[in-house]
Amino acid sequence: MRSRLLLALLLLLIAASGLALWWFAKNPPVQEELSLTPVSFADLPGWSGTDADAALKAFRRSCAKIEMLPPAAPLAYAGTAADWRPACDGAVAARDGRAFFERTFTPYSIGEGLVTGYYEPLLNGSETRHGRYQTPVYGLPDDLISIDLGQFRPEWKGEKLAGRLDGRRLLPYPARAEIDVKPPKAARVLFYGDDPIAVFFLHIQGSGRVWLDDGRMLRVTYAGQNGQPYTAIGRTLIARGVPRDGMSMQVIRAWMKDHPQDARKAMEADQSFVFFREEPVGDPVLGAQGSEGVPLTAGASLAVDARLHPLGAPMYVVARRPDADPGKSDHVFQRLMVAQDTGGAIKGAVRGDVFWGFGDAAESIAGRMKSSGQFYVLLPKALAARLGAYRDFTMP
């Protein structure tokens, strides 16, 4: 029995290595460079007027995860888990968020990049297929195998792929178009949505709440992905002639409603397909759990590229954000947040996605937020004293 198990593991290792080569042939690794330049809090635009109390609460939630790590666990460029223990201990009794971060951390400038937003949508659904409830939302398939490529080669750290076994071969999992035509037998339908466009945006957002036709409310969160490449729907519509200027989630939704014959083809241009798990709503003020495993806080949780940035790190972002009322002007956005999530489109050292929470206002802001912004990361002072000006951190 033991020899059979070892043989199966060996075959899976060989197959995974072959699939990894196929994956990187389609998705060659990109050299990412990150420069950290120490600055003072006085150098952070708008810092003196910042309310950092929400960020303090979010940081405490991250500390619960950091404290579970072995002391020597590395946190990218931010030292080890042990380097963060004093800051986490100090956060417990802190009452004034801004004062706590000022006495505990040193800010570093990362540079200028793209800032967008995301939110937790509300869908209408039913556990049975009938009437207008026709679009399935699937749980994680039993035959989906997820592989952390960093376990095979150090230069693949942070990269993952997914596939399925066919005898002794590990094959790519079907893309969105094939799943739409041939539903996966190994996946349970969690519910049927009443709007295929709303279900598509659920895939993009990664979690949402569902109002079932029997009166119950549940939450679905990200459980896995088919391993196929993600293509932004906005890019597809631009290629179809939709103007680039003003592109937003609202524009995309309106186009798909106005072009029902083309909407499915546009959605299936994105080969990525997301599978979900059911969870209770819990505290309705908080969002679903992010990649770090803690509930997201509206306006205080940030999705980053976790290949480069440590989850749990406080980050200050200066950008612009839309008003919830589309008829009003944009606002200056100067906010301390905590890196607590990741996303398929969040790639690069200076790239962030702001979580705006649940509801119509959150949807209005997140769907239209796209701005250049300045990024800063806060590191514990003792760690910062050792690092000094740490530059040119490169990750293949």
Same domain, 337 and 249: no
Q: Considering the domain boundaries, does residue 164 fall inside one?
A: no
Query: What integer best gives the mean pLDDT of the chain?
Result: 90
Name the nearest CA neighbour of 161 among 169, 97, 150: 150
Q: Pick the last residue of a domain from 269, 296, 331.
A: 269
Burial of 297 (0-12, 13-18, 19+ CB in 10 A): buried
Domain-embedded: residue 348: yes
Specify whether the CB–CB gap between 348 and 230 falls below 8 A.
no
345, 251: one domain? no
Cα(311)–Cα(241) distance, rounded to whole angstroms? 38
* Number of domains the chain is built from: 2
Position 166 scores a pLDDT of 85
Q: Looking at the structure, do residues 307 and 259 belong to the same domain, yes or no?
A: no
The helix (run of H) or strand (run of E) holding residue 118 is strand 105-120
Taking 60 as the threshold, does the pLDDT of residue 61 lie above it? yes
Same-domain pairing of 292 and 340: yes
Average pLDDT over residues 286-313: 96
Across the range 140-162, mean pLDDT stands at 82
Do the domain assignments include residue 180? no
Report pLDDT for 71: 97
Looking at the structure, tell me whether residues 246 and 318 fall in a common domain: no
Backbone angles phi, psi at 395, to 5 degrees: -125, 120
Which range, 7-11, 158-162, 266-270, has the best average confidence (pLDDT)?
266-270
Same domain for 316 and 257? no
Q: Which of residues 243, 269, 295 is at a domain's end?
A: 269
Residue 8 has pLDDT above 50, yes or no: no
Residue type at 90 in one-letter notation: G
For residue 344, being part of any structural domain is answered with yes
The pLDDT of residue 148 is: 82
Band (159; pLDDT cuts 50, 70, 90): confident
Q: What percent of the chain has pLDDT over 90?
A: 80
Q: Residue 7 is inside which H or E element, if any?
A: helix 2-26
The answer on 385 and 352 residing in a single domain is: yes
Please give the Cα distance from 368 to 346 (Å, whole number): 16
CA 363 vs CA 92, 118, 122, 235: distances in Å: 32, 8, 10, 20
Q: DSSP letter for 155, please.
A: G
pLDDT value of position 389: 57
Residue 183 to residue 202: CA distance in whole angstroms: 18
Same domain, 357 and 305: yes
Q: What is the pLDDT of residue 394?
A: 54
- pLDDT-derived band at 5, boundaries 50, 70, 90: very low
User: What one-character-per-residue DSSP string does 51-117 give?
Assistant: --HHHHHHHHHHHHHHTTS-TT-B-TTS-BHHHHHHHHHHHHH---HHHHHHHHEEEEEEEEEEEEE
pLDDT tens per residue across span 167-189: 888 899 999 999 999 999 999 99
Domain identity same for 265 and 293: no
Same domain, 385 and 289: yes
The answer to whether residue 191 is domain-embedded is: no
Average pLDDT over residues 149-171: 81
DSSP at 352:
E
In a domain, 385, yes or no: yes
203 within a domain of the structure (yes/no): no
Kindly state the tokens that stand for 201. Answer: 């945006």
pLDDT of residue 182: 95
Domain range enclosing 265: 232-269
Could you tell me if residue 145 is inside a domain? Answer: no
Q: What percent of the chain has pLDDT over 70?
A: 89
Continuous H helices in the chain = 2-26, 53-66, 81-93, 97-104, 176-181, 196-205, 233-239, 249-258, 260-268, 360-368, 381-387
Place of tokens 């999530």: 341
Confidence of residue 124 (pLDDT cuts 50, 70, 90): very high
* 392: confidence class by pLDDT, cuts 50, 70, 90: low
Question: At which of 269, 293, 317 does a domain end?
Answer: 269
Tell me the per-residue pLDDT of 189-243, one tens digit each, with 9 for 90 and over. 999 999 999 999 999 999 999 999 999 999 999 999 999 999 999 999 999 999 9
Distances (CA, A) of 54 to 248, 292, 320, 369, 391: 27, 17, 19, 21, 30
Backbone φ, ψ for residue 184 (5° rounding):
-70, 125
CB 133 within 8 A of CB 193: yes
Question: Is 108's pLDDT higher than 50?
Answer: yes
Task: Flag the least confident range among 67-76, 122-131, 350-359, 382-391.
Answer: 382-391
CA torsion through residues 291, 292, 293, 295, sign: negative
Residues 117, 280: Cα–Cα separation, whole Å: 24
Residues 331, 252 share a domain: no
Neighbours of 254 (CB within 10 A): 11
Q: Tell me, yes or no, whether 64 and 109 share the same domain.
A: yes
Beta-bridge mates of residue 372 = 114
What mean pLDDT do residues 36-53 have?
Answer: 96
